[in-house]
Amino acid sequence: MDYAFIIDRNSPLSMWWGTYRGLEWEIRNWQRGTTYDGEPHEHWNYYVIFCQQQFTPEEWRGICLPIEGRGYRGSPNYRWSVSPVYDLPWHGGISFYRNVTGVDELAEKVKWGCDYGHDGDEQVHWSLDMVQYDLRATIDAACELYPRLRWRCPSCGEYETPDEALGFFARDGAWWEHYACAHDRQRERSAWAAEAGGA
């Protein structure tokens, strides 16, 4: 995981997000008062966000689902189980699918997720560490399913499958950049430092 933020410690919802092995993720923790025993009642979710540019068109057809009818107030229905993403090891199974950007089947980013606190795990006190552990396992399995997954170079914004010959990894496999982009940045920085030093 390369970064994580807490928006507000006192809010009923805390969120953390970042990227891991090239895939964006999000964790939510809803605080819902206390249980009968006076314990804090929390509800955890985690999500993985899939971006069209990271996949082949064929892979994307299995990730971004077609709409199969409309439900309450016109909300789209999807058949989650047709996707290979459905079979990844999600905590308790998939319970969430939604477009992040784009409209209907033309989505460019879709979000798959799952939640805690149902089907017999209500009595377990989950922690951020435990949820991150499960999230990593989901993303690790996604990376096996899509071994040619493209990462976004943080410098030039282009998507590419990380390759030793093209660039490098750092920090827990969480980050990748073209050598050329890293060198350009270094050169610009040196030029700027020289200029600033000479002024």
Residues lying near Zn ion in the complex (CB under 5 A) are found at 153, 155-156, 178, 181
Output 128 or 181, the one with its CB closest to Zn ion: 181
CA distance 2 to 22: 10
Beta strands in the chain, from DSSP E residues, in sequence order: 13-20, 23-34, 40-51, 96-101, 109-115, 151-152, 159-160, 167-170, 175-178
Residue the block writes with tokens 């994307």: 60
Tell me the closest approach of the beta carbon of residue 175 to Zn ion, in angstroms: 12
Least distance from Zn ion to the Cβ atom of residue 102, Å: 24
CB of 26 to Zn ion, least distance (A): 25
For Zn ion, the closer CB: 61 or 185: 185
Helices and strands: H and E segment counts in the chain: 3, 9
Give 5's contacts (C-beta < 8 A, 6+ positions apart): 15, 16, 17
Give the nearer residue to Zn ion in terms of CB position, either 114 or 153: 153
Dist CA 199 CA 196 (whole Å): 5
Measured from the CB atom, is 86 or 159 closer to Zn ion? 159
Specify the residue, 91 or 178, whose C-beta has the smaller distance to Zn ion. 178
Single-letter amino acid, residue 101: T
Q: How far is the CB of 163 from Zn ion (least distance, A)?
A: 12
Partners of 127 in the beta sheet?
Answer: none
Q: Please state the closest distance from residue 45 (CB atom) to Zn ion, in A.
A: 32
